[in-house]
Amino acid sequence: MHLANYLGYLHRAELNLAEGFRKVADGHAEEADVYHTCNTLAEQCETHAEQLGPFVERYGEEKPEEPENLYHELFDETRSGGLGLLRDMQDLYLMAHACDISWTMVGQAAQGARDRELLETVNACEGQTASQIKWLKTRMKQAAPQALLVAS
């Protein structure tokens, strides 16, 4: 049984994403909407991680290294300026996708295991992860022309 591996992956990935959101919030605090939305979404990720708690107890938790590697590969420090914002949000976008596909895998396992409780948690959280991805994409699309064409 390897569900513990995915639960561990997801748990860590959500916590890292939360940290990423907070770093971007602080690094781009002058973008008022980015600041506030990132902080809101960081809280959301932390709640996701918390909600995994009972299942980690039920199924165990392995600690694969990939989420750490991904986080450090993408994100040690935030960048500055319009282009920097775009690149930092792109990192969040990749990290959010790692969460998204993990929710899908955990959801599949939950169905196989007939674990209704886990499935309900997956259903509640994966929709929020999808909205996070949607927000990142919306905000990046809006910012891209200005950042790539005219920003100094």
Please select the residue that binds other proteins; options are 53, 81, 120, 123, rule is CB under 8 A: 81
Closest CA to 57 of 12, 7, 110: 7
Interaction of residue 119 with other proteins, rule CB under 8 A? no
In this chain, which stretch among 51-59, 66-74, 91-99, 140-148 interacts with other proteins, using CB under 8 A?
A: 140-148
Using CA of residue 66, residue 67, residue 71, residue 74, what is the dihedral sign?
Answer: positive
Q: How far is the CB of 16 from other proteins (least distance, A)?
A: 20
**Overall residue count recorded for the chain in this entry:** 152
Which letter, b or e, does each residue of 112-128 get, where b requires 16 or more Cβ atoms within 10 Å of its Cβ? eeebeebbebbeebbeb
As measured in angstroms, the least distance from the Cβ of 42 to other proteins is: 12
Q: Which of 69, 111, 123, 146 binds other proteins (CB under 8 A)?
A: 146
Q: Is 141 in the site for other proteins (CB under 8 A)?
A: yes
Q: Does 41 bind other proteins (CB under 8 A)?
A: yes
What distances in angstroms separate CA 23 from CA 17, 71, 83, 132, 152, one per listed residue? 10, 12, 16, 16, 23
Tell me which residues touch other proteins (CB under 8 A). Answer: 30-33, 36-37, 39-41, 81-82, 131-132, 134-135, 137-138, 141-142, 145-146, 149-152
